Amino acid sequence: MTHSPSAQYSGSITRSLAALLQRETVRYALVGVSGLVVDLVALVLLFEVVGLPLLWANAISFSLAVTNNYLLNRHWTFGRRRQHRSTVTAPLFLTAALVGLGINELGLLLLTDRGVNYLLAKLLVIGVVVVWNFSFNSLITFRNR
């Protein structure tokens, strides 16, 4: 059975796209782990050592992690896509991050007010923020233009 050249080409594009998305997903996850480490270490230091209020410490640690993640995602995770101009991607990434910060702060506040340990609450909230950030950044911030 022979396939037409257009069918073979279409199959090749589909396989290439699947491979790209798989690579991006793995890289996004690794960047996320590095951001998680930055976020949690900074949170513990700022809250327990420096003595900042929890939500201030959280906002700062989250911001450090977002900066880490933006730089790594722009240059490594999504770097194979067409070149992205910082003047376009940075404001979009910041928009996603600010929504993520709102989700993060609200979730942390609600969970800790109900007696959940702040680190456990932070981990739970991060799970929600990861889904939001990946969806927004993959579909909007770093899409091929």
Q: Is 13 a member of any domain? A: no
Q: Is 14 a member of any domain? A: no
Q: What is the pLDDT of residue 45?
A: 98
Question: What's the mean per-residue pLDDT of the chain?
Answer: 84
Q: Is 132 a member of any domain? A: yes
Residue type, 81: R
Q: What is the pLDDT of residue 140?
A: 86
Q: What is the pLDDT of residue 17?
A: 59
Q: What is the pLDDT of residue 125?
A: 95
Q: Is 15 a member of any domain? A: no
Q: What is the pLDDT of residue 28?
A: 81
Number of folded domains that form the chain: 1
Give me the domain span that covers residue 43.
21-141
Length of the chain: 145
Q: Quick one: how far is CA 68 from the chain centroid?
A: 10
CA distance 47 to 10: 54
CA distance 47 to 39: 12
Burial level of 99, CB count in 10 A (0-12/13-18/19+)? middle
Nearest alpha-carbon partner for 105 in 32, 43, 28, 38: 43
Q: Which residues contact 130 (CB under 8 A, 6 or more apart)?
A: 32
Q: What is the pLDDT of residue 50?
A: 98
Q: What is the pLDDT of residue 15?
A: 67
Phi and psi at residue 92, in whole multiples of 5°?
-70, -45
Question: What pTM value is reported for the model?
Answer: 0.74
Q: Is 80 a member of any domain? A: yes
Q: Is 95 a member of any domain? A: yes
Q: Which segments of the chain have a pLDDT < 50?
A: none
Q: Is 2 a member of any domain? A: no
